[in-house]
Chains A and B, each alone.
Chain A
Amino acid sequence: MSTLEIRNLHVTVETPEGTKEILKGVDLTINSGETHAIMGPNGSGKSTLAYSIAGHPKYEITEGTVTLDGEDVLEMSVDERAKAGLFLAMQYPVEVPGVSVSNFLRTAKTAIDGEAPKLRTWVKDVKVAMENLRMDPAFGERGVNEGFSGGEKKRHEILQMELLQPKISILDETDSGLDVDALRIVSEGVNRAKDNTGLGVMLITHYTRILRYIKPDYVHVFVNGRVAEEGGPELAERLEAEGYDRYLADA
């Protein structure tokens, strides 16, 4: 049982116009097995929240705390956070030319576990995980995200998540830009991880469609750098009907 706890998180970035505060006091607690949908309009700071938890150097934490099972996440380096059990499926995964997917996956798994995986079981695990995500075996020999389509990139993110088995996973708009078949495949992957490892999920999304495939326990409406409203799955239905206009008028 793990708990990610975010308290009063304030985050700034440097822009050409000067320092800009983007997160303005975020409170959120995610336990193992729970799925929290974070829904909000573009530019509300959802990716900033995701990157800040993962430790991207561009974002400066000016106030607040983030802990995982009581450990101070903000004190950890980027790779230490991953080893502690955090995972971020990125909205825009980065190309790493010349580094094969299979080499990358093995290196990451070895780093997370602190020892190399047993070769035979590892090869099988990768094969099964790729089959589940309908990824061609030839994928393993391609460069990381090099020339991948949008859908391939997202499936590759979920593949990593399934193989690395984090405690808490942040999915940053993993659904955006996917057609319904790809959306279903990716959602199955998330649900498998929840069933198999009791994964806690922060499901950042702009659209309600993915919530038909991944059932949230809680829904948080994110507007202008903070949580504007929280509720159960019924809140998502209301957002589907009404959109974000109501919150934007307030903001």
Chain B
Amino acid sequence: MTVTDHTQATADTAHSHGVIPDKSRADRIVSFDVDAFPVPTGREENWRFSPVRDLKTLFADEAAESHLEWATSELPAGVTLTEVAADDAQARTVRAPGDRASAVAVKHAGGAMALTVAANTVVEEPITIDLTGVGGEVRGHLLVELGQSAEATVVIRRTGTAHYSELVSVDLQDNAGLNLVLLQQWDEDAIHAGEVVARLGRDSRLRGTVVTLGGKVVRLNTSAAFAGEGASVDLFGLYFADSGQHQEHQLFVDHAVPKCTSRVTYKGALAGKTAHSVWIGDVLIRAAAEGTDTYELNRNLVLTDGARADSVPNLEIETGEIEGAGHASATGRFDEEQMFYLRSRGISEEQARKLVVRGFFADLIHEIGVPAVEESLMRQIDLEIAHVEEELGDE
């Protein structure tokens, strides 16, 4: 069976819902006040797929004792990384937190780290920030700010382990261009709930790539809001969930102004009995957002029995005057016909599986635009597949 288009599950282990929420996404509460968000029970719309018990420590309104170790590539002229006091950090955050974990993160992060690229600065080499968890509870608040017509690529890589919650605020002034790559390469016991909120000024361009491979639970919500006409956002995501992993990605693209473009493309592979992925893609086209062009896609490749992929696209359209709006969600079982074809050419089962999975992700990986990251990802995907082989071998 091939993975096919549109909002229907094509595998029995898949759950794909074209649900229209009863409330508009625009009505969802945002606040810096932790008390504005009750502790999630798992019954809430935005927590209903999440293992809230594993996330419990991230909801506690308490100071956190640990930290991540930072290592940053040499910063070129026009780029600064500074500590910002809590009040200032809040003021410079483009949107208030959208859930309790995020609000707790901001409140207890003790200020923010701000990566700032001055107006008209064009940074050729990727700026890399390595964040390594050394265990314990960690709260983080990060500001990424690009001045007018600035351009940069920022790669943030998370490794090690922690119970980590964060808010990443991305502020693109008019005509700025940012390629932001967030790599979740945690050790297998890490717990991570993050929120990325982006504000796009007129004619600005955001390319956001999320890669989630490691961690026990990773829940990463990305929101992009257009504040000026002519801006565009491309959000890519790649995940590979093994047994025991929960990987959740929620997206919200808010078309509030005319003539903006958004593309959301997330692909995931799942293997192992209790592997679970969740993708929720909300796109809101407000009445004012004439000339909007949007498309969102989620594809899942289920490699073994027992894995579960939830995929929920939501498209809310409040104006008829749009360029285009569409979504597709498909979950497919590993294709036996593809395997037979490759193996009938002498290719071993393991190698064939590797080719198919690499092929599934290939176009996405090439979108990252950072060669070093692309190469290392291919290697890591091979490792993930080798892992699958071990699991299958054990059966």
Residue among A83, A97, A103 with the most chain B CB within 10 A? A97
Determine how close the nearest CB of chain A comes to the CB of B354; give it in whole angstroms. 9
Q: Which of B344, B358, B363 contacts A78 (CB 8 A)?
A: B344
Q: How far does the alpha carbon of A160 sit from the alpha carbon of B356 in the complex, in Å?
A: 18
Residues of A near B343 (CB, < 8 A) are 77-79, 82
Q: Do A111 and B348 contact each other (CB < 8 Å), given the known contacts A77-B343, A95-B2?
A: yes
Assuming the contacts A57-B340, A78-B340, A94-B341, asked whether A143 and B359 have C-beta atoms less than 8 A apart, the reply is yes
**B-side contacts of A93, CB under 8 Å:** 341
Complex Cα distance, B345 from A93, in Å, reads 12
- The answer, yes or no, to whether A227 is at the interface (CB within 8 Å) is no
Q: Give a binary string over A85-124; 1 marks a CB under 8 Å from any B CB, 0 the rest.
A: 0011010011111110001100110011000000000000
In the complex, what's the smallest C-beta–C-beta distance from A166 to chain B, in angstroms? 9
| Secondary structure dominating the interface of B | helix
**Smallest Cβ-Cβ distance to A54: which chain B residue:** B344
On chain B, the residues within 8 Å of A79 by CB distance are 343-349, 352
Whether B37 sits at the interface, judged by CB under 8 Å, is no
What is the distance, in angstroms, from A183's C-beta to the closest C-beta of chain B? 23
Q: Do A96 and B355 contact each other (CB < 8 Å), given the known contacts A56-B340, A78-B340?
A: yes
Residue A49 is within 8 A (CB to CB) of chain B in the complex: no
> B346 to A111, Cβ gap below 8 A?
yes
Q: Confirm or deny: B60 has a beta carbon within 8 angstroms of a beta carbon on chain A.
A: no
CB distance from B139 to the nearest CB of A (A): 39
**A164 in contact (CB, < 8 A):** yes
Question: How many residues in B have their beta carbons less than 8 Å from beta carbons of A?
Answer: 25
- Nearest A-chain residue to B356, judged by Cβ: A96
Are B361 and A96 in contact, CB atoms less than 8 angstroms apart? no
* Interface status of B71 (Cβ within 8 A of chain A): no
Cα A88 to Cα B346 in complex, Å, equals: 11
Q: Which of B338, B349, B355 contacts A107 (CB 8 A)?
A: B355
Contact partners of B359 in chain A: CB under 8 A? 96-99, 143
In the complex, what residues of A have CB within 8 A of residue B363's CB? 98
What residues of chain A lie closer than 8 Å to B2, measured between beta carbons? 95
CB-CB nearest in chain A for B366: A98
What 9 pairs between A and B have smallest CB-CB spacing? A98-B359, A98-B362, A82-B346, A108-B345, A111-B346, A99-B359, A78-B343, A94-B341, A112-B346
Other 13 A-B pairs with CB < 8 A, given A82-B344, A111-B348: A56-B340, A77-B349, A82-B346, A83-B346, A90-B341, A94-B337, A96-B359, A98-B359, A99-B355, A99-B356, A107-B351, A111-B347, A143-B359
Contact surface of B with A, Cβ cutoff 8 Å: 2, 335-338, 340-349, 351-352, 355-356, 358-363
Please report A residues at the B interface, Cβ cutoff 8 Å.
54-57, 77-79, 81-83, 87-88, 90, 93-99, 103-104, 107-108, 111-112, 143-144, 160, 164
